[in-house]
Amino acid sequence: MVRGRISRLSVRDVRFPTSLGGHGSDAMHTDPDYSAAYVIIETDAEDGLKGYGITFTLGKGTEVVVCAVNALAHHVLNKNLRDIVNDFRGIYRQLTSDGQLRWIGPEKGVVHLATAAILNALWDLWAKQEGKPLWKLLVDMDPKTLLSCIDFRYISDALTEEEAYEILQKGQAGNKEREVQMLAHGYPAYTTSCAWLGYSDNTLKQLCSVALRDGWTRFKVKVGADLQDDIRRCRLIRDMIGPEKTLMMDANQRWDVPEAVEWVSKLAEFKPLWIEEPTSPDDILGHAAISKALAPLGIGVATGEQCHNRVIFKQLLQANALQFLQIDSCRLGSVNENLSVLLMAQKFGIPVCPHAGGVGLCELVQHLIIFDYISVSASLTNSSCFQD
Amino acid sequence: MVRGRISRLSVRDVRFPTSLGGHGSDAMHTDPDYSAAYVIIETDAEDGLKGYGITFTLGKGTEVVVCAVNALAHHVLNKNLRDIVNDFRGIYRQLTSDGQLRWIGPEKGVVHLATAAILNALWDLWAKQEGKPLWKLLVDMDPKTLLSCIDFRYISDALTEEEAYEILQKGQAGNKEREVQMLAHGYPAYTTSCAWLGYSDNTLKQLCSVALRDGWTRFKVKVGADLQDDIRRCRLIRDMIGPEKTLMMDANQRWDVPEAVEWVSKLAEFKPLWIEEPTSPDDILGHAAISKALAPLGIGVATGEQCHNRVIFKQLLQANALQFLQIDSCRLGSVNENLSVLLMAQKFGIPVCPHAGGVGLCELVQHLIIFDYISVSASLTNSSCFQD
């Protein structure tokens, strides 16, 4: 039973000095300090439960997100949690459509990251009060209630509420078996931990050996800074993992559209499953052009970790601009907006491979992708991977 | 001669209580308090000149932009102004591609607004040191120098630097005459001041009479909250201004795509030149669909005031998604990014009608549009309008 009035919302600026070791480094983010704006929501209920929510950042600028969280807090403070979850679509709309604050977004950048952190904390609190992990809360929720959490504004030309309902109804067939399967075997994953751009070849080899010994079968390598360097590193990894295991490449937005096609064509011999973020995350038509050019080489396009809202994902799907869709659990507006993207991906037949790897992302995203498998996609084909 | 080292960057949170009178109100921003984050840059030069730059906001959240300005300030502090303007492309790239701060953008939302405010201050200081208004600084600049201010990243598939150079070379024919014409007659404009959504019919009538008496020939009306209300208000204005004068409509992103087409079709009898912001500013394919549907009715689509960067404008042009392009002088990354959009618009043959009307926007945008007329478009056909 959902209970309590939101009595306090606090937010912390949490930073880790990961740049010291080059961890997380790529072609565009050469010195990230993995960080988070960390929201804690308390109620006046006697259970003492708190909701924790984050948005991931790279160090500098976390204080800007913290400032935005404080600017948005009044939309949830002093509200009853029951009223919030009973009209979760309404609260989402209220946070994202504040008549003054939306100007500095809307639904993008700092204010949207702050919105995600606040909503993530509300979902966490709801799940805790129900005594369930988030994925189980979602899996057990009846379709009508689940849809009442989603704002369909701006996506109704691609997915109506009625279509979304049909997808969820269809997803109920076999869901119990898939839940048992997930509990027994977990969700498959891949690793990027061996091949950050800032690592030396020796470090890369050593980490790759360890990953192989640990049983990893899917490996992602960062590319895009220097072509000869990429060729050397990709050859090194492909030689180590052999021809059967899966290799993915990630350019982190380094290229213009023609450059992306040219560069990736020169890496085609290493048989990547996908090229991730070949260009600007805003460039839907660019991703469509790259997808079309690389399809004959058997290379797919993956993107999403910096796609700022459901409107961008809608268009990437409409334009056949990606073959792997990478939601981010705290760049999109929390579970609410992620649900809409999972449902659109299902309608368009595109597998979802969430972005993770940063502070808290692996924890957050597992709930979404397990729900996706059990209740929406019912498939692990090609979507069997996450961990940036 | 450009001179001085940037010795100080300060930023103020300036707000005006415009919501008290419903000024600036529309279908999505019902209670705006017109505001700005106001940047002041000082140097150690003896001339005592300061650079002033702003980004426009709607009240709440201005403190978030102020926080982002402070996070970005170190990129310009202690630099020589000469080094900055000699590598303005490099400074633009540095501000927008900071390896940690770009995560909370990139090139969108709060950090991009903050970038715009800082760069606007640098342009202001440069123009002051040259003893010219900004438009004249731009008009007098040789094409190579002008292009060295633009970051072509992510737009080279639509406009190469070479193509941009040809456009500027071509724009030199007749530029002296156009400059004389601008100085003598100014740039044509339209007014929205009579028809904010929060105004009563009586206020609307009264303001419309005054505007007609003052010689205005182009009028914009806010629509999108209620269809019957829109019909009444549009009829009222069309009756007052007569069939010859120009009427534009502005929905401020109120609709989904199918809804936009249906709603605007019902307002077609009032012969609007354009429907502005019919849907999400992120929806390129949506705007293309609306453009296509409304073309047979003789109604164009205008958008841009919330388009967050050149990548979005590039795609709107590539997709034939707009017939009037509305740059914003402080949502895009200052003059640097606006120049790239003016040049793309020229290549695609689309007139530019800047967004203005907020705090400082009319002042800022006149420089860009006068430069556009003198040095780029050389035409006033259909582009003869600005003011929110």
Q: Which residue has the tokens 């530029």?
A: B175
Opening angle at CA B209, ends B205 and B214, nearest 5: 150
Exposed/middle/buried for B23, CB within 10 Å: 0-12, 13-18, 19+? middle
| Spatial separation of the C-alpha atoms in residues A318 and A341, rounded to whole Å | 12
Q: In the prediction, which pLDDT does A197 show?
A: 78
Active site residue B355: yes
Q: DSSP for B49-117?
A: -EEEEEEEE-STTHHHHHHHHHHHGGGTTT-BHHHHHHTHHHHHHHHH--TTGGGG-SSSHHHHHHHHH
Ramachandran sector of residue B23 (left: φ over 0; alpha: ψ -120 to 50; beta: rest): beta
**Residue B250: pLDDT band by 50, 70, 90 thresholds?**
very high
Q: Which of A64, A98, A309 sits opposite B67 (nearest CB)?
A: A64
Measured in angstroms, the CA of A13 and the nearest CA of chain B are apart by 14
Query: What pLDDT is stored for residue B79 in this prediction?
Result: 98
A230 close to B (CB below 8 A): no
- Provide DSSP, B248-284: EEE-TT---HHHHHHHHHTTGGG-EEEEE--S-TT-H
**Per-residue pLDDT at B385 exceeds 70:** no
Q: Stretch A340-355: mean pLDDT, rounded?
A: 97
Is the preceding omega at residue B106 within 30 degrees of 0, hence cis?
yes
- Give the H or E element holding residue B294: helix B284-294
Q: Are A68 and B65 an interchain contact pair (Cβ–Cβ within 8 Å)?
A: no
Three-class DSSP category at B11: strand
Average pLDDT in the B202-214 region?
A: 91
Contact B106 A68 (CB under 8 A): no
pLDDT exceeds cutoff 90 at A292: yes
CB contact under 8 A, A315 and B284: yes
Q: Cβ(A265)–Cβ(A289) under 8 Å?
A: no
A386: pLDDT strictly greater than 70: no
Is residue B201's pLDDT more than 70? yes
Per-residue pLDDT at B28? 86
Could you tell me where in chain B the CATH 3.20.20.120 domains are found?
170-376
Average pLDDT, chain A: 95
> Region B56-71: what's the mean pLDDT?
98
Q: What is the pLDDT of residue B247?
A: 95
Query: Does residue B388 surpass a pLDDT of 50?
Result: no
Q: Under CATH, which number does the domain A170-376 receive?
A: 3.20.20.120
- Tally Cβ neighbours within 10 Å of residue B44: 12
- Tell me if A284 and B284 make a contact (CB, 8 A cut-off): yes
B50-57 and B35-43 as β-strands: parallel, antiparallel, unpaired?
antiparallel
Nearest to B306 among A106, A257, A285 (CB): A106
How would you write B196-209 as a 3-class SS string? Answer: CCCCCHHHHHHHHH
Angle at B204 between CA B200 and CA B208, to 5 degrees: 175
**Cβ A182 vs Cβ A374: under 8 Å:** yes
Interface with chain B: mutation pick from A55, A63, A104, highest number of B CBs within 10 Å: A104
pLDDT tens-digit series, residues A214-272: 999 999 999 999 999 999 999 999 999 999 999 999 999 999 999 999 999 999 999 99
pLDDT classification of A388: cutoffs 50, 70, 90: very low
Q: How far apart are CA B82 and CA B45, in angstroms?
A: 12
With an 8 Å Cβ cutoff, are B284 and A285 in contact?
yes
**Cβ pair A258:B64 closer than 8 A:** no
Q: What is the DSSP string of B195-252?
A: --TTS-HHHHHHHHHHHHHTT--EEEEE--S-HHHHHHHHHHHHHHHTTTSEEEEE-T
With CB atoms and an 8 Å threshold, state whether B285 touches A319: yes
* Residue range(s) of every CATH 3.30.390.10 domain in chain A: 6-131
Banded model confidence at residue A188, pLDDT cuts 50, 70, 90: confident
**Looking at chain A from residue 66 to 95, which residues have their Cβ under 8 Å from any Cβ of chain B?**
67-68, 71
Chain A residues with CB-CB distance to B61 below 8 A: 68, 71, 100-101, 103-104, 111
Look over chain B and give the mean of its residue pLDDT values, rounded to a whole number: 95
b/e burial code for range B105-119 (CB count within 10 A of at least 16 → b): bbbbbbbbbbbbbbb
Assess contact for B293 and B274: CB atoms under 8 A. Answer: no
Enclosing H/E stretch for A141: none
**Domain A6-131 belongs to what topology?**
Enolase-like; domain 1 (3.30.390)
pLDDT (tens digit per residue) in A68-125: 999 999 999 999 999 999 999 999 999 999 999 999 999 999 999 999 999 999 999 9
Quick check: B132 pLDDT over 80? yes
The predicted model gives B85-111 an average pLDDT of 97
State how far the Cα of A33 lies from the Cα of B100, in Å rounded to an integer: 7
pLDDT the model gives residue A310: 98
- Higher confidence at residue B79 or residue A191? B79
Q: Tell me the pairing of strands A272-276 and A300-303.
A: parallel
What tens digit of pLDDT does each residue of B332-342 get? 999 999 999 99
Q: Which of residues 99-158 of B touch A (CB under 8 A)?
A: 99-113, 153-157
- The pLDDT assigned to A60 comes to 97
A residues 327-386 lying closer than 8 A (beta carbon) to B: none
Q: Does the annotation mark A74 as catalytic?
A: no
Model confidence pLDDT, tens digit, residues A205-223: 999 999 999 999 999 999 9
Catalytic residue (choose from B112, B136, B308, B355): B355
Is the predicted pLDDT of residue A141 greater than 90, yes or no? yes
- Give me the pLDDT at residue A22, please: 80
**Can you give the pLDDT at residue B22?**
80
Asked whether the CA dihedral B123, B114, A35, A383 is positive or negative, the reply is: negative
Which of A136, A222, A287, A367 does the annotation list as catalytic? A222
Confidence (pTM):
0.97
